[in-house]
Structure 1
Amino acid sequence: MADRVRRPRVPPRLRLLLPRSVRARATFAATAVVTLALGGSSAALLAVLHANLLRTARDSAVEQAGKVVELASREHLPSVLAPHGGSSVWVLDASGKPVAVTPDLLARPVAAPPLPNPPGPSAPGPDRSLLQLPPDEQPLLVGARLHDRRQQVITMSVSGPDGPLTVHAAASLRDVEAAGDTTGTALAVGVPVLVLLVAAVTWRVTGRALRPVEAIRAEVAEITGHDLHRRVPVPHTGDEVARLAVTVNATLDRLEDAGLRQRRFIADASHELRSPIAVLRTQLEVALAHPDPDLWPELLADALEDTVRLQDLAADLLLLARLDAADPVAVELLDPAALFAAALAARTADRVPVTAELADGAEVLGNRTWLTRLLTNLVDNAQRYAATRVEVRLAVRGPDVVLEVRDDGPGIPEADRERVFERFTRLDDARSRELGGAGLGLAIARDLAGHHGGTLAAEPARTGARLVARLPRAGSAG
C-alpha cells in the first residue's frame, strides 16, 4: 500500500515566530512581496545601468579609434593627436614604436596590449574589425592612467602613408564604477526605507480595515441569551465588512425570533398542560372527598377525557419538537389518493360527514405517517367549525399535487389567515377549548407540508374556510 503523502509540518519553534493575526500576516505578506519585487528590480536596474554605461564607454573608444583610422588612411599622422571624448589613443607601427598619442600619454611610455589575434602588418587599407576584451581580462596600459584600475580597450589596424599601423583606444570605466556605486548606495538606502514605509502603511491600513471586524467581534462576544436584542455596528463602507455586519445582524434577528418563539411556545405549552392537569386533579380530589360509587363512572369518564387531552397534547408537542429539529424520516413514493382514502375511511366518529373527491394518477415523495397526519389535522380543524359538511379534494395542477379541505363554518377572517398557523392560536378561544383544540393542529400541518417541500395556506372561499396544501409532484422537478 502506497504511503500517504503528508504535508510538511512547520517546526514548533518556527511556528511561534509566524504571525498569527490577520493584520500581522497581511503586513508580513505585503512586506515580503515588496522586498522581493524591489530586490529583483534593483538588481535588474544595476545590471542594465552597468551594461548601458559600459556600452557608452566602448562606443566612445570605437568612435575615437575610428577617427584616427580614417585620418591615418589618408595622410601622415601628427605625433600628438587631438583629444576627443575622454579616451586615450596611441598608434604603434609594425615594430611596436609609438607613432602618435593623445596629450595625456605624452609623458608616459606606452605599449601594445597583448591581443589574441593581432592584425598582420600587411593588412591593406583601413581595417575596422573590432577586437574587444572583457574588462576583467584587459591588461593595464603601461603608464596610461595608472589611477584607472579598469579600462575598455579597442584595437584597429590600418595601412596608410605611414605604413601598417595599429590604433589602440582606451576608455576609462571610472564613470561606470562611480555610477554603479552611487546607484547601489542609493538603492541600499532607499529600498529598506521603502520597505519599512510599505510595512507601516500596510499595518495602518489593515488596522483601519479590520477595526470594524474587531468591533463586531467584541459586540458579539458580549451578546448573551438575554441580550439578543443587541446588534453589531454596520460600517458605512459598503464593502465585505459591512455585508458581514448585515449578515451577523440578520442572524441575530433570527436567533432573537427563535428565542421569542421558544419562550412563547414554552409558556403556551405550560398553560395548555396546566388546564387539563388542574381539571384532572380536581376530579380526583372530588372522587376522594366523596367516595360514592355512583359518581365514579362519571368522574372516571371525565378523568379519562382529560387524560386523552394530555396525551394528545404531549404527542403534538413531541411532533413539533421533532419538526423543529428537522430529524430525517423515511420517505417513499406514495399515491396520495389511496393514502387519503384509507385515512378518511378510518374516521367513523366524525361530527359531520366528510365527502371526498380524490383524483388518481398523482404521486408524491414523502412520509406515509406525516402525510396522513397532515390530512387528519386539516379535517379535524374543519370538523370543529363545520355546520353541515366537510369537503376534501385532491387534484393535480401542473407540477403540484393540491389538497383542499373546505367546511361550511364561520370561515377565517382575512386578517387572521396567517395567524391561524401560529402555535396555540385560537380565533374563538372558548369554543376551541370546548371542542378540545389546543391551537396546534394547523401549525403542525403547515410544518408537515413544509417538510415535504410544499406549502399550506388559508385561501378565500365564498362560504366557510378553505385550506389548501400544495405538495411537489414526484418527478416534476426541473
Structure 2
Amino acid sequence: MARRLGSVRARTTLGATAVVAGALVAAGLAVVLLLRANLAGQTDLRAEVSAREVAAQLAAGTPYRSLDLPDGEDHPVQVVGEDGRVRAVSEDLQAIDGTGSPGVRPGAAPRGGGDDDDDQGDDYPGRGEVSGDDPGFSTGRATVDGRTADYRFAAVEVTTPRDETVTVYAGADLAAARDATGTVTRAMLAGLPLLLAVVAGVTWLVTRRALRPVEAVRAELAEITASGDLARRVPVPDARDEIAGLAATTNETLAALEESVARQRGFVADASHELRSPIASLRTQLEVAAAHPELLDVDGLVADVVRLQHLAADLLLLARIDAGERPPARPVALGRLVRDELDRRAPGDRVAVRASVEGDPRVMGVPGRLARVVGNLLDNAQRHADAAVRLSLREEAGTAVLRVADDGPGVPAADRERIFERFVRLDDARSRDEGGAGLGLAIARDLVAAHGGSLTVGEAPGGGALFEVRLPAT
C-alpha cells in the first residue's frame, strides 16, 4: 500500500488535485467577494434611488402628508428635519435604527433634543433643490409590519420651496444580497468535493495510460536481466513523445551492451587462443626435457616465456584502458621522447630507422604510454619492411604529427580499419609474424585516443604503409 501511494501515478494525482483545489478555492473566494461587492453596490443604488425620488417630491413642494412613499417593507423611508424631528415615515414602519432619528411618527423629537447647527447652513442645497453630493450610507435595522430586517440606508438632503432643509433616509433590504451570496457559497462548497473527485479520477486514469509504455519497458528489461538475452529489445510506443525517446535510447544502450559483451567474449576467446600456443609449446619442451634432459632447448623456453610475458603485459594494458584508467598527464617533449626510444632500440633493430625530428612539440600525456605508441608503430613497420623504415615528427598548426612509414607490401584499403582491431593479423602478416599477437596496433590506437589524438594508416609515397599520429600540442 505504501509503495502504491509513493508511485508516480499517486504523486501526480495528489499533486494535480491539490493544485486544482487551491485554484478553485482562490477562484471561488474571488467570485464570492466580487458578487458581494456587486450586490452591495446595487443595494446602495436602490436605496439612493428611493431617497432621491422622495427628495424630488419634497423639492417640488409636495406636503409631507401627501408624499408618495415606496413600499415600507422593501424600502422604509424616514424624513428628518434639521431639528431632528421626524417629518414623514413609510406606512407600517414600527421601528428604525441607523438613521438620523429613532422616531417613527411625524413630529417625534430625537433623544436628548435637537440643536440647529447654523454653521452648516452654507452646505445646504438651495431652495427647491436636491443635494447633488454623494449620499451618506449607513447600515441599520428596521421593523415593518412586524418584520425586522437589516437595511442599507441612503441619506439625501433636500430644501423645500419653503426653505426648510430635511434629510431623506431610504433603506434597501440586505436579505436578498446576503441570501444570494450564501447560496453561491454553499453551491461552491458542495460542488468542490465532486469536482476534485472528478479531477483525481481523470488524472489517475490518464496517468495510468501514459505510464503503460513505461511499465512495458520495465517488464521487458526485467525479463532481459533474468534471461541474460541481450539480443532482445524493449517495445517502442508509436507516439513520438519522451517515453518513446526513452525506449529508443534503452534499445541503443542494449545494442551497445550486447556489442560490448560480444567484444569481451571474443577478446577472452582470442586471448585464450593466443595463450594456448606458447603454453602448449612450453609444456611440450618441458616434457621432452624431463624424459631427455640432453634435448632441453633453453633458448626456446626463454623465447616462449618472453612471448607469454609480453602477451600478458599487453592484455593487462588493454584491461586498464577498457576500465578507463587515466594516469596523471603532464607536459611531454615529444621530440626527446622519440629520440630516446630510437636510441633504446637501435642495437636490436632488424631494419634501421631513418628519423627526421623537426623541433620538439610538447603534448599533455603519460610519457610511458606515448613511448609505447612509438615503439609499437616501429615494431610493426620493421616487421613488414623490406629495407627501410622512415620516421618523421613535426608540429603543424598546433598539432604534433608523427609519421612512421615502411617499404613493405602496405595495407589494402579494405583492411585499413580492421588492422586496428584486437587480435587481427592479415594473412600476409601471419606468414612473417615473429610472435606478435595482433595487439600492437590496437593498443597504439587506444592509447592515442586516450590522449585526445588520432591514429590512421594510408599508403606511403614510395609504397608500403604510412601510419600517422596526430596529438594536440600545448
Change (3 A) 1:389 1:97: same
Change (3 A) 1:169 1:281: same
Alpha-carbon offset, residue 168 of structure 1: 1.8
Show the counterpart of 2:106: none
Once residues 423 and 460 of structure 1 are traced to their aligned partners in structure 2, the CA distance between those partners, rounded to angstroms, is: 22
Show the counterpart of 2:14: 28
Is 75-84 or 242-251 further displaced after alignment?
75-84
Show the counterpart of 1:243: 245
Secondary structure of the equivalent of 1:216? helix
Secondary structure of the equivalent of 1:223? helix
* CA deviation profile, 1:161-193 (whole Å, cap 9, x unmatched): 464433221100121012112211221122222
Secondary structure of the equivalent of 1:264? helix
Secondary structure of the equivalent of 2:144? coil
Change (3 A) 1:178 1:160: same
Equivalent pair of 2:314/2:439 in contact (CA under 8 Å): yes
Show the counterpart of 1:58: 44
Secondary structure of the equivalent of 2:147? coil
Q: Structure 2-normalised TM-score?
A: 0.87
Show the counterpart of 2:178: 177
Q: Count the aligned residue pairs.
A: 447
* Counterpart residue identity of residue 227, structure 1: D
Alpha-carbon offset, residue 112 of structure 1: 7.0
Show the counterpart of 2:60: 74
Secondary structure of the equivalent of 1:403? strand
Is 45-54 or 84-93 further displaced after alignment?
84-93
Secondary structure of the equivalent of 2:364? strand
Q: Please tell me the root mean square deviation across aligned C-alpha atoms, in Å.
A: 2.6
Once residues 187 and 408 of structure 1 are traced to their aligned partners in structure 2, the CA distance between those partners, rounded to angstroms, is: 93
Show the counterpart of 2:202: 201
Alignment of 1:369-388 (within 5 A): 369-388=368-387
Change (3 A) 1:113 1:430: closer
Equivalent pair of 1:410/1:464 in contact (CA under 8 Å): yes
1:405 aligns with 2:410: no
Once residues 208 and 36 of structure 1 are traced to their aligned partners in structure 2, the CA distance between those partners, rounded to angstroms, is: 26
Once residues 411 and 268 of structure 1 are traced to their aligned partners in structure 2, the CA distance between those partners, rounded to angstroms, is: 25
Equivalent pair of 1:87/1:172 in contact (CA under 8 Å): yes
* CA deviation profile, 1:377-427 (whole Å, cap 9, x unmatched): 011111111111111111211121111111111111111001000000010
Once residues 437 and 397 of structure 1 are traced to their aligned partners in structure 2, the CA distance between those partners, rounded to angstroms, is: 33
Alpha-carbon offset, residue 35 of structure 1: 0.9
Once residues 4 and 276 of structure 2 are traced to their aligned partners in structure 1, the CA distance between those partners, rounded to angstroms, is: 61
Once residues 96 and 444 of structure 1 are traced to their aligned partners in structure 2, the CA distance between those partners, rounded to angstroms, is: 113
1:147 aligns with 2:147: yes
Secondary structure of the equivalent of 2:331? strand
* Counterpart residue identity of residue 382, structure 1: A
1:186 aligns with 2:171: no
Secondary structure of the equivalent of 1:313? helix
* Counterpart residue identity of residue 223, structure 1: I
Q: Structure 1-normalised TM-score?
A: 0.86
Equivalent pair of 2:234/2:250 in contact (CA under 8 Å): yes
Q: Which runs of 5+ in 1 are unaligned?
A: 1-15
1:87 aligns with 2:44: no
Equivalent pair of 2:10/2:204 in contact (CA under 8 Å): yes
Once residues 414 and 115 of structure 2 are traced to their aligned partners in structure 1, the CA distance between those partners, rounded to angstroms, is: 113
Equivalent pair of 2:410/2:459 in contact (CA under 8 Å): no
Change (3 A) 1:121 1:84: farther
Identity over aligned residues, as a percent? 45
Alignment of 1:31-430 (within 5 A): 31-77=17-63, 79-81=66-68, 83=70, 86-93=74-81, 99-101=87-89, 105-109=90-94, 113-115=98-100, 120=116, 124=124, 125=126, 126-127=130-131, 130-133=135-138, 135=139, 138=140, 140-141=141-142, 143-144=143-144, 146-147=146-147, 149-161=149-161, 163-224=164-225, 226-291=228-293, 293=294, 295-296=295-296, 299-347=297-345, 348-428=347-427
Is 417-426 or 427-436 further displaced after alignment?
427-436
Is 112-121 or 390-399 further displaced after alignment?
112-121
Alpha-carbon offset, residue 351 of structure 1: 1.4
* Counterpart residue identity of residue 40, structure 1: A
Alpha-carbon offset, residue 94 of structure 1: 6.0
Alpha-carbon offset, residue 211 of structure 1: 1.9
Secondary structure of the equivalent of 1:267? helix
Is 436-445 or 36-45 further displaced after alignment?
36-45
Once residues 466 and 253 of structure 2 are traced to their aligned partners in structure 1, the CA distance between those partners, rounded to angstroms, is: 35
Secondary structure of the equivalent of 1:232? coil
Change (3 A) 1:367 1:96: closer
* CA deviation profile, 1:30-54 (whole Å, cap 9, x unmatched): 1111111111211121111011101
Once residues 405 and 307 of structure 2 are traced to their aligned partners in structure 1, the CA distance between those partners, rounded to angstroms, is: 25
Once residues 424 and 63 of structure 1 are traced to their aligned partners in structure 2, the CA distance between those partners, rounded to angstroms, is: 105
Once residues 416 and 210 of structure 1 are traced to their aligned partners in structure 2, the CA distance between those partners, rounded to angstroms, is: 48
Once residues 112 and 195 of structure 1 are traced to their aligned partners in structure 2, the CA distance between those partners, rounded to angstroms, is: 45
Show the counterpart of 1:464: 464
Equivalent pair of 1:79/1:100 in contact (CA under 8 Å): no
Secondary structure of the equivalent of 1:150? strand
Once residues 278 and 472 of structure 1 are traced to their aligned partners in structure 2, the CA distance between those partners, rounded to angstroms, is: 45
* Counterpart residue identity of residue 187, structure 2: A
